[in-house]
Structure 1
């Protein structure tokens, strides 16, 4: 078994992404006041979408043959996962600065735990794991499909000699312009 066709590296990184998504989900769902804040709800929706895409990325490891997969097919789901994780992290970092939707008399400063900040940090850690997965895809794909210069085939006869042109211009005579004879 070649290292390039092993799914265990990809599986380990993608399972870590699933664990990060679940930690984000529980951080926000168990915090107080997330139902009244729009960025927290949008962040949770994008967290569920990113969980769906990382699950699809894991499923591709078992459904398709990794050795025969092209580079875009290997990395498409993880690229979408990274984009949704960036949106998730941005939403979770925005949450502490937003007002409650039920507050009609202005935005008062309230105490919120650091759960949203922790969830945002885990979102960007997931992006880092996605970049590691993408780097593994590039390294293993281009190691397997690298172009090695080929040796010239053995023809069984000598290669034709190349003509050397004199650097000084001269008017050639008919005898000099003809094909060199094999007198030598």
Structure 2
């Protein structure tokens, strides 16, 4: 409605434009002045958004040697390689990260399940114990937009005793492995960000 009034006022300023064709061309031109910048803003924000990661069968994307190492270092031998899921996180030139979910009660306890994080080279960078049972819509592990030493920081979400709230812990790579740098309590479903990504 607002856009229509603006276009009409512009058309009224040019009383010599009587043809409907010319008026239509002028109206399209006016619309383009508003629509094109809006599309550019939307496209730019989509490019900057981090991709949503999904758990994938480890055997489809992880080198077999790394799967064997992860099994050897984290289980007693009763976990089937076919059942393992991973999140693959791309880095900023430091190689891929693989976050393992062994899908095994054997590797879970009262505090949660074991989630080791390996570098593509086979180096263990973090071993987490986390509870995968989260409120609907929450994600257990995700990268955020902060980069430290070539790796995106990881955000781990966990339930807490306060209803409607979760804790979010930020782990960042500090040379030898990932360390917890920040922790915050947020509402369930809140898109919490620690700040603009930094390259350190």
Bigger relative contact order (CA 8 A; separation at least 6) = 1
Q: Which has the larger radius of gyration?
A: 1
Higher helix share: 1
- TM-score computed with the length of structure 1 as normaliser: 0.21
